[in-house]
Amino acid sequence: MEQRPAGSRHEGKLLFPGGIIEPDESPHDALRREVKEELGIFPTQIVQLSSPLRVDDITLHPFLIQQWEGEIPERILDKGSKLVWKDLNYQPLLPEQRSIFQRVHHQLEGMTIFTQPQLAS
Contacts of residue 79, defined as CB under 8 A and 6 or more positions apart, other chains included, come to 2, 5, 38
Q: How confident is the model at residue 119 (pLDDT cuts 50, 70, 90)?
A: low
- The pLDDT tens digits of the residues spanning 76-106 come to 887 778 888 776 666 655 666 666 667 677 7
- Domain boundaries along the sequence of the chain: 2-108
What are the pLDDT digits (tens) for 1-21? 788 778 877 787 777 777 889
Q: Tell me if 95 sits within 8 A of 102, measured CB to CB.
A: no
Q: Phi and psi (nearest 5°) for 102?
A: -65, -40
Q: pTM for the full model?
A: 0.72
Instruction: Name the architecture of domain 2-108.
Output: Alpha-Beta Complex (3.90)
The predicted model gives 65-75 an average pLDDT of: 89
Q: What is each CA distance from 26 to 35, 58, 86, 95, in whole angstroms?
A: 14, 16, 28, 29
The count of C-alpha atoms lying within 13 angstroms of the C-alpha of 37, restricted to the half-sphere facing its C-beta, is: 12
